[in-house]
C-alpha cells in the first residue's frame, strides 16, 4: 500500500468514526426532544426565569443539528476518499474549515462574555431558589425533577440545603430532603446534618476538576480537524494530478 492508499484508508476510518458519532449525537438530540421527563424540563417550571435561559431548552435542536452535520461530514469524507471524488473532498474540506473557524470564534466569544455568563447564572440561581421555596414538596413535578437531579449529581439544592428553608416540604416535615444528608435516616436530616454540597457548586467542582481533560479534548479535536483538512486537500491534489 503506497502513500495514496494509506491516506485513503486513514480518511475512510477517521470519517467512519465521525459518521458513527454523528448518528449517536443525532439520536441523543431526538431523545432529548421526545423525552418530556428530561432533566432539562425543570427550567420550564421556574417562574420568571431569565429569558436567556430559555435557549437551553433548545439543546435538543442543537444536538440534532450537530449530529446531522457530522453525518454529512463523515459521509463526504468516506465516499470522497474511496470513490476519489474531488468534489466531495473539496466540500468536506470547506465544511471542516467553517467548523474550525466557528469553534475558534466561539471560544473567543465565551472568554469575552464570561462575566456576563456569571451574572446570568446568578440571576437564574435566585429564581431557582424562589421556585424551590414555593413549590418543593407541594408541586409534584418540581419535587420529582429536583429529586432526580439531586440523586443523579449527589447534591443538595441549587446552592445548598438552605434553599429548602421555608419550602412546603420543610414547613411540613421540619426536615430537609434525604439527599442533603450523608445519613440514610430521613428523620435525622436537619440543619446540623445537611452537609451535602449544592448542585451548582458540585457542577462547577466537576468542571474545575476536569479542566485539563476538557482543554486536552478541545485541543485534540482542533488538531484532528487540521489533520483532516490537510489529508483531504492532499488527496484532492493527488487525484487531480492523476486525472491530468
* Claim: this prediction has a pTM higher than 0.95: no
Mapping DSSP to helix (H, G, I), strand (E, B) and coil, where does residue 190 land? coil
pLDDT tens for 129-182 read 998 999 999 988 888 889 888 988 889 999 999 999 999 999 998 889 988 988
Q: Take residue 128 and report the three cell numbers written for it.
A: 431557582
Question: What span, in angstroms and rounded, lies between the C-alpha atoms of 162 and 198?
Answer: 10
pLDDT tens for 87-119 read 998 999 999 899 889 888 877 877 777 677 667
Question: What span, in angstroms and rounded, lies between the C-alpha atoms of 239 and 244?
Answer: 9
- Give the rounded distance of the alpha carbon of 214 from its chain centre: 12
Mapping DSSP to helix (H, G, I), strand (E, B) and coil, where does residue 237 land? helix
DSSP notation for 216-232: HHHHHHHHHHHHHHHHH
Amino acid at each position: 500500500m503506497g502513500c495514496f492508499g494509506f491516506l485513503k484508508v486513514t480518511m475512510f476510518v477517521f470519517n467512519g468514526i465521525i459518521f458513527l458519532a454523528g448518528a449517536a449525537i443525532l439520536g441523543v438530540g431526538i431523545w432529548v426532544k421526545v423525552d418530556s421527563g428530561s432533566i432539562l424540563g425543570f427550567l420550564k417550571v421556574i417562574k420568571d426565569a431569565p429569558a436567556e435561559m430559555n435557549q437551553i431548552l433548545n439543546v435538543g435542536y442543537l444536538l440534532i443539528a450537530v449530529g446531522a452535520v457530522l453525518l454529512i461530514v463523515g459521509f463526504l469524507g468516506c465516499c470522497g476518499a474511496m470513490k476519489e471524488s474531488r468534489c466531495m473532498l473539496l466540500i468536506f474540506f470547506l465544511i471542516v474549515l467553517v467548523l474550525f473557524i466557528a469553534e475558534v470564534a466561539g471560544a473567543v466569544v465565551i472568554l469575552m462574555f464570561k462575566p456576563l455568563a456569571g451574572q446570568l447564572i446568578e440571576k437564574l440561581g435566585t429564581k431557582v431558589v424562589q421556585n424551590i421555596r414555593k413549590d418543593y414538596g407541594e408541586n409534584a413535578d418540581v419535587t420529582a425533577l429536583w429529586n432526580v437531579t439531586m440523586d443523579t449529581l449527589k447534591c443538595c439544592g441549587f446552592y445548598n440545603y438552605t434553599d429548602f428553608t421555608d419550602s412546603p416540604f420543610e414547613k411540613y416535615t421540619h426536615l430537609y430532603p434525604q439527599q442533603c444528608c450523608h445519613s440514610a435516616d430521613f428523620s435525622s436530616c436537619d440543619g446540623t446534618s445537611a452537609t451535602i454540597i449544592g448542585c451548582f457548586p458540585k457542577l462547577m467542582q466537576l468542571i474545575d476538576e476536569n479542566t485539563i481533560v476538557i482543554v486536552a479534548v478541545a485541543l485534540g479535536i482542533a488538531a484532528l480537524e487540521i489533520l483532516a483538512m490537510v489529508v483531504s486537500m492532499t488527496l484532492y491534489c493527488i487525484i487531480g494530478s492523476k486525472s491530468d
